[in-house]
Copies of this chain bind each other. A is one copy, B any other.
Amino acid sequence: MKQAPWINYRPEIKILDCTIRDGGLINGHMFEDGLVKAVYDTCVAAGIDYMELGYKGDKKIFAPDKHGDWKYCDEDNIRRIVGENDSPLKLSVMADAEKCDFKKDIIPKEQSVIDLIRVATYIHQVPTAVAMIKDAKDKGYEVTVNLMAVSVVQERELNEALDIFVQTDVDAIILVDSYGVLYSERVHDYIKQYIKAAKGTGKEIGIHAHNNQQLAFANTIDALVAGANRLDATMSGIGRGAGNCPMELLLGFLHNPKFNLRPVLQCIQDYFIPLREQIEWGCLVPYFITAHFNQHPRSAIELRAGKDKDEYVEFYDRWNEA
């Protein structure tokens, strides 16, 4: 019997850094090359498995004069940072259902340095996601599916979606707590449900947590303990609104000797402490309030952008009276 299982590690666990992708939602995907390159070098040095650079956004929907390069992740722009990516680090992009012209903008794998396409979908877009999964697999990529905003998905619909996904060739299914609502018991239940659905298929289960209630790291650990092998995190927890699971905390927890914490601390010290002077993210009360009411954080993001950014009670009343 294992007395202290936490001192060992599970070699199947893979970490995806989504610093540039999720962080890009704060600043219109306009990171300077120096920072993107630093995150890339850090991921390589830290033994992180995947780095997600941004979205494959449709330029017909998202005007290129209003967004940075990482909204589109054109091949040339990625290569500007990573060259031929001569490293063990795999590269990922996110493709949102209905916001990606995937047939055109996702090129065959043999022409791309990208390794993994992460299809992101809301529950009402599942058939589109299935088509995107097939397209990306046919083109030769690893593919995962991120079913977003799970805290507002009804249980029968979730089971149906999982049944559909396990019949595709997708490599992993990711639990996404978009609104930062979940607590440990619920994370545990969801992960067990996802694992049960995927049983015998070889598909992995993962988690993408948000930090609205200061639980992104805790929930990521809880998912891991429940059996999730794909874990998302970002440098200094950067990400839209309250942000994500902080990479430094996650690497501090993991015991696989292939991971190195020190390069991540260096990256935070050199790039993310200064960045915090320019853009805001983290566990602020308004993000907790939207999570408390199981809402998208957009109203909290708007609040924080205005002059009444610390008027918490009025913001709470607005939701409480709704």
| A269: interface (CB < 8 Å) | yes
**What's the nearest-Cβ distance from chain B to residue A239, in Å?**
14
- Contact of B183 with A253 in the complex, beta carbons under 8 Å: yes
Q: A171–B24 Cα gap in the complex (Å)? A: 51
Q: A292–B249 Cα gap in the complex (Å)? A: 9
Chain B residue with minimal CB distance to A213?
A: B249
Q: Give every chain B residue within 8 A of A259 (Cβ-Cβ).
A: none
Which of these binds chain B: A13-21, A43-51, A126-134, A306-314?
Answer: A306-314
| A125: interface (CB < 8 Å) | no
Interface size classification for chain A: 35 or more
Q: A313–B253 Cα gap in the complex (Å)? A: 18
- Contact of A217 with B213 in the complex, beta carbons under 8 Å: yes
Contacts known (A249-B288, A252-B292, A253-B183); A269 close to B215, Cβ less than 8 A = no
Contact with B along A308-322 (1 / 0, CB 8 A): 001111001100100
| A246: interface (CB < 8 Å) | yes
The secondary structure that dominates the A interface is helix
Contact with B along A292-304 (1 / 0, CB 8 A): 1000000000000
Q: A219–B221 Cα gap in the complex (Å)? A: 12
| A185: interface (CB < 8 Å) | yes
Contacts known (A252-B288, A285-B265); A214 close to B213, Cβ less than 8 A = no
Q: A12–B111 Cα gap in the complex (Å)? A: 62
Contacts known (A213-B252, A252-B292); A186 close to B6, Cβ less than 8 A = yes
| A79: interface (CB < 8 Å) | no
Q: Name A250-270 residues within 8 Å CB distance of B.
A: 252-253, 261-262, 265-266, 268-269
Report which of B252, B273, B311 forms a contact with A310, defined as CB distance below 8 A: B273
**What's the nearest-Cβ distance from chain B to residue A280, in Å?**
14
- Contact of B218 with A269 in the complex, beta carbons under 8 Å: no
- Contact of B285 with A316 in the complex, beta carbons under 8 Å: no
